[in-house]
A and B are shown apart, each in its own frame.
Chain A
């Protein structure tokens, strides 16, 4: 881990008119660190994620990103061209619903290759070889490379979406409920895969989830949100084993035990 944070979030708030999306959120994300944001529906998790990933502009506060050239840049002050370039090279965004993050009408290979072509790769053979390699890494059979994601199962689609995001070796990946809508065994396999990739590639990730098990498995650190505020944050094991806030205690105790 290097000595400077990758992302510095300072006092970020987002208001929808008079309603509060999220309020006064500050934290730092370090290289190689996985941060989980948990909380119930409507607690502002996704709003916060959108503000961090420039999909929404925060009403106030500053989000700074440590660029590859070593400079910190205020995301809100970057031009749209720079932001979009950042999003398709140095960042990844994994949607809850794979159909939002994939092109459903083009083949799996082209889905993975799109980012490469967007940054100027013009050699078909190389693009295809890279795509095949990534399909293998996310455990999709190589002979499915020319199939459209429409013919894929939910779990495969989600894995394809992850491959599509990681092909340009991003440093930061945002995930919005990456295991939502998947059944338990597929979830477990996906989590295992993500954990391996994050570890191997030294990725930083911010994962929004309402599933504490996902947070436990993947994240180093977690933030608990309620009504737009971060009410508790700390190391994942500490928060889950020894929750301090009454709401966190409630959340932890409401996990169904089989």
Chain B
């Protein structure tokens, strides 16, 4: 056996990859439009990223460098197992460094570091339909997308303001892509929405259970929906990261003890480590070093 691998490269058979690539091409041609595809059974349960894994498998080449994050972290169960999966079935190089990766599969976050041309961000999407909880009939939501009837999306935002005094949607915040399709950016925090706008990187979204693929090509308008008198705004944090002192990044709350102790740290672990290597230190890290 010379070049023939024992297993097909990157798990999926070539016909399946072809089918998924066609769906991806169509999705890129119509930014924000949900393209149906024949989602395959994957060796993992729904909800663990079957859509994202299929998209990654379809676009992965032997020279690609793969990074997988889950909630911004490279070292969580889901991220570790998907990374190991592709090492095994495609033998590709993997990394945790955002800038070294050519393909980044993600759940919940867009890396803090600005993505550049040539990089591809693959999202794992649980519910691709932004109108789902407002209009349960799929036949109707498809028609609404086709006819650009998006008044209902604002009904949801109206309800938010009526109940909470402000737009309380914090994740899966609806966006309008290239002035046409309203899209659910998967459960990323709205903090990351501005990063999607005019991004240099290609963004692909795969929903395995719902059998939909959609895309935001590079340099595409992505506008978060809002009201004139209640404009869209991202989350703000009072304190910088406790470990690396970074400001204007998305922070996770970590409970430290049962006496109310807690810290806020970067949700993007790579970004945090990178900063610490470069000598930045947050207040907790500084305290620890002082104690030693």
A interface residues (Cβ-Cβ under 8 A, vs B): 80-81, 84, 88, 103, 106-107, 109-110, 113-115, 117-119, 122-125, 127-128, 145-146
Contacts and interface: CB of A to CB of B under 8 A. Distances in A.
A81 B147 contact: yes
Given A110-B155, A122-B228, A124-B228, 7 more contacts: A80-B147, A106-B159, A107-B163, A109-B158, A115-B151, A118-B149, A123-B229
Interface string B141-169: 00100010101101110110111000000
A109 B151 contact: no
B155 to A, nearest CB: 5
Contacts of B149: 84, 118
A106 B134 CA distance: 9
B227 A119 contact: no
Given A109-B162, A114-B152, A146-B162, A124 B230 contact: yes
Question: Which of A81, A107, A110, A122 has the most B CB atoms < 10 Å from its CB?
Answer: A110
A124 B157 CA distance: 9
Contacts of A113: 155, 158
Contacts of B226: 122
B151 A123 contact: no
B158 A127 contact: yes
A113 B161 CA distance: 13
A119 B155 contact: no
Interface of B: 134, 143, 147, 149, 151-152, 154-156, 158-159, 161-163, 226-230
Given A80-B147, A81-B147, A84-B147, A124 B155 contact: no
A123 B229 CA distance: 6
Nearest to A108: B162
Given A80-B147, A114-B152, A124 B163 contact: no
Contacts of B163: 107, 146
Contact of B227 (A81, A109, A122): A122
Contacts of B156: 106
Contact of B159 (A80, A81, A84, A110): A110
Contacts of A80: 143, 147
Contacts of A114: 151-152, 155
A124 B147 contact: no
A124 B227 contact: yes
A158 B113 CA distance: 54
Nearest to A79: B147
B151 A124 contact: no
A91 to B, nearest CB: 15
10 contacts: A80-B143, A81-B147, A103-B134, A106-B158, A109-B158, A110-B155, A117-B152, A118-B152, A123-B229, A124-B158
Contacts of A84: 147, 149
